[in-house]
Amino acid sequence: MTQTAVASAPAATSSQVLSARQLWVLALLTLFWGINWPIMKIALGDMAPLSFRALSLLLGLPCLALGLTLLKVPFHVPRGEWRRIGLLTVSNMLVWHVLLILALPHLSSGRAAILGYTMPVFSALWGRVLFDERLTWRQTLGVAAAGVAVVLLLWHELTRLSGAPLAAGSVLVAAAVWGLGTQQLRRSRTTVPTLTISFWMTAITTGVLCALALTFESARWQMPGNAAMAAIVYNGVLVFGYCHAAWFYLARTLTPVASSTSVMLIPVLGIVSGALWLGERLHWQDGAAITLILLSIAAVLLPAKTVPPRDGSLPLP
């Protein structure tokens, strides 16, 4: 993780090659976030949703604090930066975590992951509408492929979703807000280190989730079972202690389209792990969607070929 924040975003390119560090960060992020979908689903069979999220955050926050301490990253935030961090918290964490965890009990884990990871499509649309971000043909191809993949993966869920339209709509709203947050995070101009931003966004979200759980779910509180406790530890240490900081690092060092598209393997892993652990059925559309998702990632992240000019001048990307 970098200890210095990106003050401004470089111009977006048709592709962006990941460094070795970014590749390792992304690989672990994909693994931990991907298999977390059925893990959360199992936990929610034993716990109230907001309470599960709040306990996970309470465990994850000291893990983040330990990381900042070991890396000697300052906790201090200048007074003028708090409003910015508050707004980034709402769009990058708060709306996502509240709406998703309330909707998840009513959806299959794999397809909830698919709905959630429509985020790259929303991120590209926000960039075009709000920031006049012109997509190259490769970015357009990547976003389109991701969108078609989502439709294919939801092919056999349309009947189920019709019975839970509020839950499905909530996840889509959460994904749309997260897509906006990705654009805002990349474009934020601040000297605050990325890990510091991650810590305080997590701290604010923890406070809000604890208040919501106390207000609406305290009557349902009971000692979690072994599976739920394991899920809390997994989410606290790996999801909130690592994945969120890793995502904010990628979101600030890659272009919004590249960073959001790079995580599209997460719902694929969510579907596969849901099939293995929860018996959720796979169909041929899932295989076709996986192919499209790989195409989407390749279109956005793989480097474009350059053609040397005949006059001997430097080639253009």
DSSP 197-214: HHHHHHHHHHHHHHHHHH
For residue 142, give the nearest of 26, 256, 247, 244 by alpha carbon.
Answer: 256
Q: How much of the chain, in percent, has pLDDT values that exceed 90? A: 41
Give the global pTM: 0.81
Per-residue pLDDT band at 41 (split at 50, 70, 90):
very high
Per-residue pLDDT band at 316 (split at 50, 70, 90):
very low
Task: Tell me which range, 7-21, 90-104, 125-139, 179-193, is most confidently predicted by mean pLDDT.
Answer: 90-104
- Using N-to-C axis directions, what is the helix angle for 137-153 and 119-131, rounded to 10°? 140
3-state secondary structure of 3: coil
Q: State how far the Cα of 41 lies from the Cα of 109, in Å rounded to an integer.
A: 6
Segment 164-177, tens digit of pLDDT: 678 888 998 999 99
Q: What value does the mean pLDDT take over residues 44-53?
A: 95
Segment 251-270, tens digit of pLDDT: 888 776 677 677 777 888 88
> 260: which 2 tokens?
């959001």
More confident call, 130 vs 209: 209
Q: How much of the chain, in percent, has pLDDT values that exceed 70? A: 82
Yes or no: say if 261 and 300 are a contact pair by the CB < 8 Å rule.
yes
> 131: which 2 tokens?
């920031």
Per-residue pLDDT band at 305 (split at 50, 70, 90):
low
**Out of 108-117, 153-162, 238-247, which region has the weakest mean confidence (pLDDT)?**
153-162
Segment 56-92, tens digit of pLDDT: 999 999 999 999 999 999 999 999 999 999 999 999 9
For tokens 């992240």, name the residue.
301
Indicate the DSSP class of residue 8.
Answer: S
Segment 269-287, tens digit of pLDDT: 888 888 888 887 777 777 7
